[in-house]
Chain A
Amino acid sequence: GENVEQHPSTLSVQEGDSAVIKCTYSDSASNYFPWYKQELGKRPQLIIDIRSNVGEKKDQRIAVTLNKTAKHFSLHITETQPEDSAVYFCAASRPGGGNKLTFGTGTQLKVEL
C-alpha cells in the first residue's frame, strides 16, 4: 500500500519568514495530493491540493510543488503569520480502492513573533 513520509516533524520560523514542508510517497499511481491544516482538537482543513497533471499550484501565500519522477511534493508558506501555527498534514490518494487518503505523519509549525 501507499506510504507517505513527511519532514520535518516540527518547524519553528520567525514571523514573515517562509516555511517549507516536504513529503514523499511510494505509490507511483497516486494522483492527488492534498495538504491539510489542523488546529488542536479541530478537524483537518484543506488548504491546497495538487493533481498529478500539474507541477505547481499557488494560492496567495501558499504553494505546492510536485515532482512525480522523484515522488515528492512540498508545501511552501511565505510571509508566515502567527495564525499559521498549527499541524500540517500531507496526504496522497490513488484512483480506485475508494480513493482513500494516506496521510503523512504531520508537521507542527510554530510561527514566532
Chain B
Amino acid sequence: GAVVSQHPSRVICKSGTSVKIECRSLDFQATTMFWYRQFPKQSLMLMATSNEGSKATYEQGVEKDKFLINHASLTLSTLTVTSAHPEDSSFYICSARAPTGGYNEQFFGPGTRLTVL
C-alpha cells in the first residue's frame, strides 16, 4: 500500500516557539493531504485540507494564522504550529489521498507527538 511518513515523530519545545512538522508521501503523488489533531483518549479531529499549489482549507474553529500549512509539492505538506502553547500539545497526524487508492481512501502518517512546555 501507499506509504506516508512524518517528521519528526516527537518534539518538545518551549512555549512561544514555532514547530514545523513534515508529511511526505513516499511512493505516490498526493494532490490532497489532511492534517488531524488527536488529544489523549479522543478521536481524530480534522484541522485542515491541504491542496498542492493552493491555500489550505481550514475546519471551523482552527486558526489559520496559528497553524500554517504549506503544500508546495505533490509529495510534501508541512504544518507549522506558530507561537506554540501548552494547550497545543497533542498528537498531530497527516494523511494523504492517493489518486489510485480507490474511492476516498486515505493513508496515514505515523504521527508527531508535540509537547509544549
In A94-113, the 8 Å CB interface with B consists of 98-106
The interface size of chain A toward B, counting residues with CB under 8 Å, comes to 21
Residues 82-113 of B, flagged 1 when their CB comes within 8 A of A and 0 if not, give 00000000010100010000011110111101
Given A42-B111, A89-B44, A101 and B93 contact (CB-CB distance below 8 Å): no
**Nearest Cβ distance between residue A52 and chain B, in whole angstroms?**
10
- Per the bound structure, the CA–CA distance linking A102 and B108 in Å amounts to 14
Are B104 and A44 in touch, CB under 8 angstroms?
Answer: no
Give Cα A99 to B113, complex, Å. 26
A interface with B by C-beta (< 8 Å): 32, 34, 41-46, 49, 51, 89, 93, 98-106
Minimum CB distance partner of A30 in chain B: B104
Chain A contacts of B108 at CB under 8 A?
43-45
Query: Which residue of the partner chain, among A32, A43, A51, A104, contacts B43 with CB atoms under 8 Å?
Result: A104
Which residue of chain A has the shortest Cβ distance to B91 in the bound complex? A41
> Does residue B74 face the partner (Cβ distance < 8 Å to A)?
no
Most buried by A among B45, B49, B105: B105
Residues of A with C-beta under 8 A to B116: none
Closest 9 CB pairs of A and B: A99-B104, A98-B49, A43-B108, A32-B104, A93-B104, A103-B43, A103-B44, A43-B110, A105-B43
Q: A102 and B111 in contact (CB under 8 A), knowing A32-B103, A51-B103, A93-B104? A: no
Can you name 27 A-B pairs with beta carbons within 8 Å? A32-B103, A32-B104, A32-B105, A34-B105, A41-B91, A41-B111, A41-B113, A42-B111, A43-B109, A43-B111, A44-B44, A44-B108, A45-B108, A46-B105, A49-B103, A49-B105, A89-B43, A89-B44, A93-B104, A98-B32, A98-B49, A98-B57, A99-B32, A101-B104, A103-B44, A105-B42, A105-B43
